[in-house]
Amino acid sequence: MKILVSNDDGINASGIHALAKALQSIGEVSVVAPATQQTAKGHSLTIGGEIRVQKRFFEEGIPGFAVWGTPKDCIDLAVDALLDFTPDLIVTGINEGPNICNDCVSSGTIGGAIAGFNNGIPSIATSLDFGDTYDYEKCTPIITDIVRWFIDLPYNKEFALSVNFPNVEEFKGITIAESGGYHTFDVHYEIVREDEDSQYYVIPGGHVVINDVIEDLEHDIYAMSQGYVVITPVHYDMVHDQALEALRKDWNEHVK
C-alpha cells in the first residue's frame, strides 16, 4: 500500500514525523507537506502564483517534499505532479490541537484530507488535543488500527475521517461522534507597527472558548473531554439539509 502523508503544521513538526514513521509498518510512505506553518488555511489553494517545491530528506526510507503552499496545494500537487503513482491512502496530521465541530471549516489538517477525498482517495485527518506536552507516539498505534480498518471499508471514498485524540494519560476508548457544540478562540487583533499609510495587525494568542456542548458520548467535544478518541466522518457538502424544505416553501413557488 502506498500512503501519502501531509499536515498543516509544516514538514518539520513533530506530529508528522511520528505519523509517517508509524505508517511505515503498513505501507510505503511519502511525505508532501507545507514548508511553513499553515494552520487554519482550510481548503484554500494557490492560484495565479508560483508554488515552490523542494525535494527534502524526511526520515530514513521516507521521501519528502516541502511545499511553499497550503495543505490542499500539497495534496493536489502530490497527486497531479510530484508522485509517479496514485496513493492508496492519504493521512494528515498529527495536528497540534483538535479539529472538532466548527474548527473543521478552517482546519488545514481537515482541508488536506478533504483534498484527498476530492481526488477520490480514502483520506484521514488526525489531531491531538491541546496540552502541556504532546505525546504523538501514544496516538500512533490507534491510528494504524484505524487505517487498517478504513482501507478495507467498501465505502471509504464516500467521506473522509477526522480522528481526534484527547490529551490524557490513558484513552478510555473510541467513539463515533458528530459535532456537539461550538469550539473557538477568544482572540483580538493588535497593531504591531505602522507606517505612513498602513497599519499591521497580528493575533498574538488567545484561549479556547467552548459553548453549547451536548453532553453525551455521541458528540465530539464532550466525548473527547471524557478521554475518548473521537472519529467523525466529514465531507465537503456545506448545505444545511434541514433548511432546504422551509426555504423551498418560501421560494420554489416562484420557480417556473
Higher-pLDDT residue of 41, 55: 55
Quickly tell me which residue has 488545514 as its cell: 108
Q: Which three cell numbers stand for residue 114?
A: 478533504
Is 123 a residue whose pLDDT tops 70? yes
The answer to whether residues 15 and 136 touch, using CB atoms and an 8 Å cutoff, is yes
Q: Taking residues 1-10, what's their average pLDDT?
A: 97
Label residue 118 exposed, middle or buried (CB < 10 Å: 0-12, 13-18, 19+): middle
Amino acid identity for residue 43 in this structure? H
Please report the pLDDT score of residue 206 as a whole number. Answer: 67
Instruction: Select the CATH number that applies to the domain covering 2-181+214-254 from these four: 3.90.800.10, 3.40.1210.10, 3.10.180.10, 3.40.47.10.
Output: 3.40.1210.10
Would you tell me the crossing angle of helices 136-151 and 14-23 to the nearest 10 degrees?
50
Q: Mind listing the pLDDT tens digit for each residue in 142-190?
A: 999 999 999 999 999 999 999 999 999 999 999 999 888 877 777 788 8
Q: Cα 169 vs. chain centroid, distance in angstroms?
A: 23
Count of C-beta atoms within a 10 Å radius of residue 106: 16
**Residue 89, beta-bridge partner list:** 3
Give the separation between CA 3 and CA 1, rounded to whole angstroms.
Answer: 6
pLDDT of residue 242: 85
* CB of 177 closer than 8 Å to CB of 104: no
**Residues 10-52 pLDDT 10s:** 999 999 999 999 999 999 999 999 999 998 888 899 999 999 9
Q: Which three cell numbers stand for residue 204?
A: 498574538
| DSSP per-residue letters across the chain | -EEEEE-SS-TT-HHHHHHHHHHTTTSEEEEEEESS--TT-TT----SS---EEEEEEETTEEEEEESS-HHHHHHHIIIII-SS--SEEEEEEEES---TTHHHH-HHHHHHHHHHHTT--EEEEEE---SS--HHHHHHHHHHHHHHHHT-TTTTS-EEEEEE--SSS--EEEE-B--SEEEEEE--EEEEE-SS-EEEE---EEEEEES---STTBHHHHHHTTEEEEEEE-S----HHHHHHHHHHHGGG--
186: number of Cβ within 10 Å? 9
The answer, yes or no, to whether residue 254 has pLDDT greater than 90, is: no
- Here the cell at position 214 is 451536548
**What are the structural domain ranges in the chain?**
2-181+214-254
